[in-house]
Structure 1
Amino acid sequence: MKNALAITIGVAAIGLASCGTSESGTRVSVAGLADRPDEGSILPEGPAQLAHTTTVPVTSVRPGQFVPPAASDDDFRTGLERYIGVPEDFETAVEWNHQIFEAAIQECMSTNGYDYITLPLEGGEDPNVAYLESASDEDRVGFTSLRYGVPELPPSGITCEDEAVRQVFVINAFAAEYAPFREAFYSDPRVIQATQAVEVCIFDAGESPDTASPATVEFCQSSADFQDTARKVGDELDNEFIGQYRTEIDEFVSNRPQGA
């Protein structure tokens, strides 16, 4: 059933969903570690990409419990997002993430000898255009290849955006480690049962899970207690994941570039 209802809890931006970039401000999961259900939408399965914070809790809620409780019923951050301190407010989280991501790109470009002006979240003209227009053909190609991967990839095969994704987004930094936890989420009997209940509800409404309207999905998820089930199972798995990789996660957050 997971193909039909691979639904993502919303934040993030982090266009964020596709590769971790934040220019578009698309709403996906902030921490991006678990494909959690999002009220009113059914999306293709894929990792979310956001994670932004500068602090990591140093104490547990109780021994063996690393995931703090949700701040409210409207707090749809994953357990990992709450652990690493992602802001509860969506707009604040998107801006924070964008600044950190652009700071990582700027650091990478500077290391390779290029002056890079960070891009604004709201879009508009690239502030680096003036430099590119005045640069030599060789410098222009070197800059765009390193930043955007066009017209060709840099000699290393890794752009500064690729490097920033690994530095900023937890899902990319711990993709291999989290993979079995994601599978455990989808194979949990509680999630399977809730997913089946949502699908039955959607079919009873005369629609298909692949094309159902957001209103129908939201109603059916509510009827099946899908959000609560997904949050409970997700928090359990995130808590287990943090317990296993807490040192590495804390180090990752502390080493992440800081935004402006």
Structure 2
Amino acid sequence: MEDIIAYFEQLDPILAAFYATLFTWGLTALGASVVFLFKTMSRAALDGMLGFTGGVMVAASFWSLLAPGIEMSPGEGFVKVIPAAVGFFLGAAFLFGLDKILPHLHINFKESEKEGIKTPWHKTTLLTLAITLHNIPEGLAVGVLFGGVAMGMDGATIGGAVALAMGIGLQNLPEGVAVAMPLRRAGMSRKKSFMYGQASAIVEPVAAVIGAWAVLTFEPILPYALAFAAGAMIFVVVEEVIPETQQDKFTDIATMGFIGGFIIMMILDVGLG
């Protein structure tokens, strides 16, 4: 692990963010590749995986983004927390807007429950776009944190940025499964199911590069940018991930998956950050 951290320390921060999110995209593709081995997966396993995803995202939002953002903000008391509060709200508002505009369909929901502007797009495209919404704030978070490390801001470390990428990569693995498996079960070919599954995370390297560039170009926005990514991720968890796990009788499994994901992300961030 020390060698990995040392390697990223030598890279340009934008390139480091790009490489880190190529890793997270790769784990999404690995998860989607399960369709080459199985045609179906139990609903209990799927809900547990989605719960794990939510736990990682919530833990990452605090340990990797909000806490460092507050620590590096100037001032004391209420003044110190203003950038985090403003950024958190703007991040949630940004995802709220995308959620209302971008056509998508959550996993485990009926086609009649699709959201966003009305469109004739097929269910496969809508499912992929739903997971793509998850991945925008995840890629952004990695990019912003690597940018913060390059700016030498207190609370931002290469270890923390690597831990965040690892945690997001771990929860991308079940996300890839969660997209590809329902498509395969619906009768789509293995190859197409895999392609749709991995495509949902292609946005992460793009978002990471944008996030790192923005922080490096406009240094004062860093505390706001960290909280922005956290707000976007929390919005996704509350509005999408958790409801997706509550559509059947396996809510307890989903809840324990959430707890496990939170613990693992917390351990990674504290241990490496």
TM-score when normalising by structure 2? 0.26
- Larger-Rg structure: 1
Structure with the bigger RCO (C-alpha within 8 Å, sep 6+) is 2
More helix by share: 2
TM-score when normalising by structure 1? 0.27
